[in-house]
Amino acid sequence: MYRSVLKDFIVIEEAKTHNLKGISLRIPKGKITTITGPSGSGKSSLAFDTLYMEGQRRYLECISPTLRQFFEKIKRPEVKNISGLSPTISIRQAGLSRNPRSTVATITEVYDFLRIIFSSIGRPICPYCGLEISITSLEQIQNWILSNLDGRRLLILAPLKIENRPLKDLFSDLLKEGFLRVKIDNNIFSLDDPHPLNLYHFDSLSIVIDRLIVGERAENRIRDSLELAIEKGDGRLILDPMDGSEIRFNVKGICDKCGFRFPHIGPSLFSFNHPEGACPRCKGLGVIDGSIDGQLCPECRGARLKEVARSIKVGGKSINELGDLSIKECIRFFKELTLDPLEERLSRNLIDETMGRLNMLDELGVGYLTLNRPIPTLSGGEEQKVRIATQLSYSLSGVIYILDEPSMGLHPKDMDIIIDNLRRLKDKGNTVIVVEHSPEVLLSSDHIVELGPSGGDKGGYLVFEGDIKALQGAKSLTAQYIRGEKKIPVPRKRRKGSGNWLTILGASENNLKGIDIKIPLGTLTCVTGVAGAGKSTLIGQILYPFLLSRLYGKKAKIGKVKRIEGSEYIDRIINIDQRPLTLGTRSNPATLVGVFSHIRSLFSRLPASKIRGWKGSRFSFNQPGGRCELCKGEGFIKVNMSYLPEILIRCERCNGKRYTKEILDVRFKGYNISEILDLTVDKA
Ligand SMILES: [Zn+2]
Ligand SMILES: [Zn+2]
Ligand SMILES: [Zn+2]
């Protein structure tokens, strides 16, 4: 291969992952490429299981020698060769957690920045008498020293209470502890100097903890000396830069009025996932009963944090009050925030980083969301934007971004924003690869790869490769749709429906403006609108929970609505959203369409199972018994690495087969259960 080709292209030779039929192709670097084709045609196999896998394998090899132990475990994709690859980052549908604790702020990492901001410049207010307590943390003092006294000589002193004790006794005790000098008023004395022993009238007495020259190399030493000074000075210490001045600090937060004492203020005090910060009553969930539909916690009123954490303020607001602001309001808050020079120095970078993310969310059109909004209550489109904003704000360059259907859940009108951001990624010098059906994305990509001609075993061929102009002249399925020759047919006859209506009156949850809606029963009704218009709120937070409680007597939190009429005409409700499909590694097509329970009972009826008394559950990978317990039936083990995307490594005990050896020995028509699950739907 010529070097010039590798500079401009990623070259894939004979990719055979899953159903790919040994295809070879070139993807231009620094451009937007869309991989399209019918579902099951091998798009994800090519983009994620081949390109991304291999990219990640090499990426780790290059940058992280300490992670070498994992290398052999990352499976090499089935491909003859890939050249011209650079570090690869994937933005997948299943990226967001369904954890009820996740919020817009935690998912976007804005909350992590806020926690550090609050722990470094937050001002504690006594929760009992409302008095502001001035405390400086060790970190603040250390940072202050490093940024204000760099290169200067410095004494770190621990002030002592002046007692009636003879100096002679005190000095000999201090000498035994290893100290060498004291400062009495403005003079430094050696502890073995007899002169000060005759002093009877003085105003201040401090131990000289350390004498040093400030610089980054002395960082650890400064830290140790500060700690010792605080211990000896009972929470107080003095810095003496030897220019006649003294700077005094108080580290222990004790209220002067009522004696209330603040705990150590560190980032974990503001974490509702950490015992140090979580409200003890609701354990940081904000609700009791442990569900998002439960009752608001009476102690924290949903704020999830302990009272002390809520008593620390920046710009007059606690971290949970800040979280109740919308993204737009939060941007304004930080713009208007005034800080003193020390606070400014301590927090400027953190605030800039926070603002970067908030601005990105606002630009993507979700500036109306509050930071504390739980992720499970977002609509598909909102969730998608939050996820994209997080990824785009990493602002890396020279990497390959692989995105999985960024248009999913978005209104066509929102596509402009996504496309703008894809272009922005490209302009930063990245290669963007998108798995996508949406014509908007196809039309704005520089290069198109179409797989097909259909799904499963009949897919995996390269059907088209070229730019949009070439696609318009091509014969492929996608080309026919692009030219408008193929369309989703509009039915000529519409269903009449039952004649009954479901009526929602005065819906006003979230941003709904007290609207009234009539839905004809016995028909298919589509609720549409731009992201954030309130579609999910109307259906997911009002109608669905209402019907759940009306039809099944379930306890569900129903969003603000005046009245809903017509539920007497309904006897069942089923909620199908995008979520079950993103449950992760545990789902496969068989479990999703429900055939897996049939397969399991089939295996349990085989003679080999009957002899051992094995029931169908023995063949489940969702419960202990027959599954591999090292990977808990997942076949893969997740490895979390800081600063790197999470990686999946094949389980070494079961080799990715999910089951114990005994279970795998049971065969039906020559296949064991793991092999049955790997069969394509056609063969099974
Ligand atoms: Zn107080
Ligand atoms: Zn609580
Ligand atoms: Zn295993």
Q: Residue 337: is its pLDDT beyond 60?
A: yes
Q: Which numbered ligand comes closest to the C-alpha of 309?
A: 2
User: What distance in angstroms lies between residue 272's CA and the mean position of ligand 2's atoms?
Assistant: 10
- pLDDT per residue as tens digits for the range 257-306: 777 878 878 888 998 888 889 999 888 888 776 455 567 888 998 899 99
Q: What is the pLDDT of residue 492?
A: 66
- Least confident stretch, 250-264, 327-341, 532-546: 250-264
Give residue 273 CA to ligand 2 midpoint distance, Å: 12
Distance 632 CA to ligand 3 centre (A): 7
C-alpha–C-alpha distance, residues 520 and 501, integer Å:
5
Distance of CA 523 from the midpoint of ligand 1 (Å): 63
Diameter of the chain measured on Cα atoms: 110
Domain 3-87+398-482 part of CATH 3.40.50.300:
yes
Residues around the ion ligand 3 (C-beta < 5 A): 628, 630-631, 651, 653-654
User: What's the mean pLDDT in 135-159?
Assistant: 86
pLDDT at 252 over 90: no
Whole-number Å distance, alpha carbon 264 to ligand 1 midpoint, is: 16
> What proportion of the chain, given as a percentage, has pLDDT over 70?
84
CA of 670 to the centre of ligand 1 (A): 76
pLDDT at 578: 46
Q: How confident is the model at residue 315 (pLDDT cuts 50, 70, 90)?
A: very high
In the prediction, which pLDDT does 181 show? 93
Q: Report whether pLDDT(168) > 90.
A: no
Ligand 1 centroid to Cα of residue 203, in Å, is 29
**Cβ–Cβ under 8 Å, residues 515 and 539:** no
CB 448 within 8 A of CB 433: no
Q: pLDDT-derived band of residue 59, with 50, 70 and 90 as boundaries?
A: low
265 Cα: distance to centroid of ligand 1 (angstroms): 17
Ligand 2 centre from 306 Cα, in Å? 7
Ligand closest to CA 320: 2
Residue 128 Cα to ligand 1 middle (Å): 5
Question: Ligand 2 centroid to 288 CA: how many Å?
Answer: 8
Superfamily of domain covering 583-678 = ABC transporter ATPase  like domain (1.20.1580.10)
Asked, colleague to colleague, whether 138-250 and 583-678 share their fold, the answer is no
Quote the pLDDT of residue 167: 84
CA of 125 to the centre of ligand 1 (A): 8
% of the chain at pLDDT higher than 90? 22
The pLDDT of 584-590, averaged and rounded, is: 44
Nearest by Cα to 371 from 358, 389, 359 = 358
pLDDT score at 382: 84
Answer whether residue 60 shows pLDDT above 70: no
7 half-sphere exposure, CB direction, 13 A CA radius = 3
CA of 621 to the centre of ligand 3 (A): 10
Residue 182: the pLDDT is 93
Distance 622 CA to ligand 3 centre (A): 12
pLDDT at 618: 83
- 3-class secondary-structure state, position 592: helix
pLDDT of 3 over the 60 cut: no
Query: What integer pLDDT is reported at residue 629 of this predicted model?
Result: 82
> What is the CA(636)–ligand 3 centre distance, in A?
7
In this prediction, residue 305 carries a pLDDT of 94
Q: By the 8 A CB rule, do 292 and 541 touch?
A: no
Between 32 and 84, the more confident residue is 32
Ligand nearest to the CA of 132: 1
- CA–centroid distance, 21 to ligand 3, in Å, is 29
What's the 650 CA to ligand 3 centre distance in angstroms? 8
Amino acid at 591: T
Cα(255) to ligand 1 centroid in Å equals: 5
Model pLDDT, residue 490: 63
* Closest ligand to Cα 654: 3
Compute the distance from residue 510 Cα to the ligand 2 centre, in Å: 22
Looking at the CA of 284, name the nearest ligand: 2
At 95, the pLDDT band (50, 70, 90 cuts) reads very low
CA of 632, nearest ligand number: 3
Two tokens, residue 672:
């064991």
CATH top class, domain 138-250: alpha beta
Q: What is the pLDDT of residue 396?
A: 67
Distance 540 CA to ligand 2 centre (A): 25
Ligand 3 centroid to 77 CA: how many Å?
A: 19
Across 363-369, average pLDDT: 89
**Which band of pLDDT confidence, cut at 50, 70 and 90, is reported for residue 669?**
confident
Boundaries of every domain in the chain:
3-87+398-482, 138-250, 501-569, 583-678
pLDDT at 153: 92
Looking at 185-240, list the stretches that DSSP marks H as alpha helix, in order from N- to C-terminal side.
Answer: 219-232
Confidence of residue 495 (pLDDT cuts 50, 70, 90): low
pLDDT at 637 over 60: yes
Contact 616, 600 (CB under 8 A): yes
For residue 439, the model assigns a pLDDT of 84
pLDDT digits (tens, 9 = 90+) for 607-616: 778 777 777 7
pLDDT at 121 over 50: yes
CA 49 to chain centre: 22
Q: Coil, helix or strand for 384?
A: helix
How many angstroms is it from 677 CA to the middle of ligand 3? 15
- Is 371 or 547 the better-scoring residue by pLDDT? 371
- pLDDT (0 to 100) of residue 399: 81
Question: What was the pLDDT predicted at 445?
Answer: 93
Ligand 3 center to 635 CA (angstroms): 5
Mean pLDDT of 521-535: 76
How high does pLDDT run on average in the chain?
81
Q: How far does residue 645's CA lie from ligand 2's centre (Å)?
A: 32
Section 51-74 average pLDDT: 64
Q: Band of the pLDDT at 244, cuts 50, 70, 90? A: confident
Ligand sitting nearest the alpha carbon of 129:
1
Instruction: Among 232-236, 309-313, 666-670, name the one with the lowest average pLDDT.
Output: 666-670
- Ligand 3: centre distance to CA 628 (Å): 4
pLDDT tens digits for range 194-239: 777 777 778 888 999 999 999 878 888 999 999 899 888 877 789 9
Give me ligand 3 centre to Cα 629, in Å. 6
**How far is it, in rounded angstroms, from Cα 355 to Cα 110?**
9
**pLDDT attached to residue 226:** 92
Does the pLDDT value for residue 591 go beyond 50?
A: no
* Mean pLDDT across 516-537: 79
Distance 332 CA to ligand 2 centre (A): 28
Establish whether the linkage from the previous residue to 624 is cis, with ω within 30° of 0: no
Give me ligand 1 centre to Cα 261, in Å: 8
Name, in order, each residue with C-beta under 8 angstroms of 139's C-beta and a sequence gap of 6 or more.
120
Starting from the CA of residue 627, give the closest ligand: 3
Q: Grade residue 593 by pLDDT with cuts at 50, 70 and 90.
A: very low
Structure confidence at residue 93 (pLDDT): 53
CA 362 to centroid of ligand 2, rounded, Å: 30
CA of 126 to the centre of ligand 1 (A): 5
pLDDT band at 587 (very low <50, low <70, confident <90, very high): very low
Average pLDDT on 465-494 reads 78
Question: For residue 491, what pLDDT is reported?
Answer: 63
88 or 468, higher pLDDT: 468
Cα–Cα distance measured from residue 15 to residue 19, given in angstroms and rounded to the nearest whole number:
9
pLDDT digits (tens, 9 = 90+) for 427-437: 888 899 999 88
Helices (H), 448-536: 468-472, 477-482, 535-536
Counting ligands in written order, which one lies closest to the CA of residue 305?
A: 2
Distance (angstroms) between ligand 3 centre and the Cα of 623 equals 13
Distance 286 CA to ligand 1 centre (A): 26
Q: Which ligand is nearest to the CA of 637?
A: 3
Inter-axis angle of helices 327-336 and 341-361, nearest 10: 150
More confident residue, 462 or 428: 462
